């Protein structure tokens, strides 16, 4: 009698497990693809992010992670020129702004799935890929006094040997396109890993919050500063929030 009870209990548990797998399979067939559109802040700047997933198995997804970010040097400090009243905050000694495009490929693994609309789905994302860095020169507004005593504002790049320009800098030029023709591109590698949390009333559209670490590395130090040692590896913690659609 005990054996019959145990066998019956095992068969019942197995049937429940297979039924759950069938429901998961049906769910995966309905939504094999997903796209997340998000904004991202990190310890070295901010940016935007798009993640595209394609299902391989129930809990395993192919991940394409495309992001465009601004990367700052860890020692960047923006402050006004103490020698000029009313000057705008700027970063002393900065040569170039760095914008990167990360093209990551990897995996999204489901750690905990949702059983109802009140649950939170937990994913582990990890990916690697190439990074394209765009360096644009920084131009500053400098107040120059002529021989007759009149003043004018000129745009100039930071020159570590020109103390007169340094003392008379009033801020960064408002012309966003200044120095565009002098921009140049560098290449490197990137890696990213984070925990992703999904929630929403419907399964085909949802919100997600992701937190983790990302690394951007280049073959040589990136020329951001003129007077401070430049880095070639950027390690940042990040936080992103996204809106996703499954189809």
Q: How confident is the model at residue 125 (pLDDT cuts 50, 70, 90)?
A: very high
- Joined together, the tokens standing for residue 119 give 């649950």
For the chain, give the mean pLDDT: 88
Q: Report the alpha-carbon distance of residue 99 to residue 66 in Å, rounded.
A: 14
Tell me the per-residue pLDDT of 52-103, one tens digit each, with 9 for 90 and over: 999 999 899 999 999 999 999 988 999 999 989 889 999 999 999 999 999 9
pTM attached to this predicted model: 0.82
Residues in the chain: 247
pLDDT above 50 (res 3): no
Q: Report the alpha-carbon distance of residue 38 to residue 47 in Å, rounded.
A: 9
Nearest alpha-carbon partner for 143 in 168, 180, 111: 168
Tell me the per-residue pLDDT of 147-181, one tens digit each, with 9 for 90 and over: 777 889 999 999 999 999 999 999 999 998 999 99
pLDDT above 70 (res 238): yes
pLDDT above 60 (res 146): yes
In this structure, the number of other CB atoms found within 10 A of the CB of residue 238 comes to 22
pLDDT above 80 (res 32): yes
CB 93 within 8 A of CB 158: yes
Q: How confident is the model at residue 118 (pLDDT cuts 50, 70, 90)?
A: confident
Domains, in order of start, for the chain: 30-246 (2.40.160.20)
pLDDT above 70 (res 194): yes
Q: Which residue has the higher pLDDT, 203 or 216?
A: 216
């Amino acid at each position: 009698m005990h054996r019959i009870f145990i066998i019956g209990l095992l068969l019942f548990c197995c049937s429940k497990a297979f039924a759950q797998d069938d429901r998961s399979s049906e769910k995966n067939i309905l939504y094999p693809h997903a796209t997340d559109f998000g904004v991202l802040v990190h310890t070295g700047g901010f940016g935007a992010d798009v993640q595209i997933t394609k299902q391989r198995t129930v809990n395993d997804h192919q991940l394409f992670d495309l992001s465009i970010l601004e990367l700052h040097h860890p020692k960047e400090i923006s402050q006004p020129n103490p020698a000029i009243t009313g000057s705008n905050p700027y970063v002393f000694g900065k040569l170039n702004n760095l914008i990167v495009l990360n093209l990551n490929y990897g995996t999204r693994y489901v750690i905990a799935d949702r059983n109802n609309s009140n649950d939170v789905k937990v994913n582990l994302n990890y990916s690697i890929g190439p990074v394209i860095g765009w360096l644009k020169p920084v131009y500053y507004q400098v107040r120059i006094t002529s021989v007759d005593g009149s003043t004018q504002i000129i745009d100039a790049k930071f020159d570590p040997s020109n103390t007169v320009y340094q003392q008379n800098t009033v801020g960064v030029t408002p012309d966003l396109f200044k120095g565009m023709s002098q921009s140049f591109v560098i290449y490197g590698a990137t890696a990213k890993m984070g925990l992703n949390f999904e929630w929403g009333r419907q399964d085909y559209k949802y919100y997600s919050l992701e937190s983790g670490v990302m690394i951007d590395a280049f073959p040589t130090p990136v020329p951001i500063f003129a007077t401070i040692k430049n880095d070639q590896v950027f390690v940042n913690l990040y936080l992103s929030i996204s809106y996703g659609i499954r189809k």
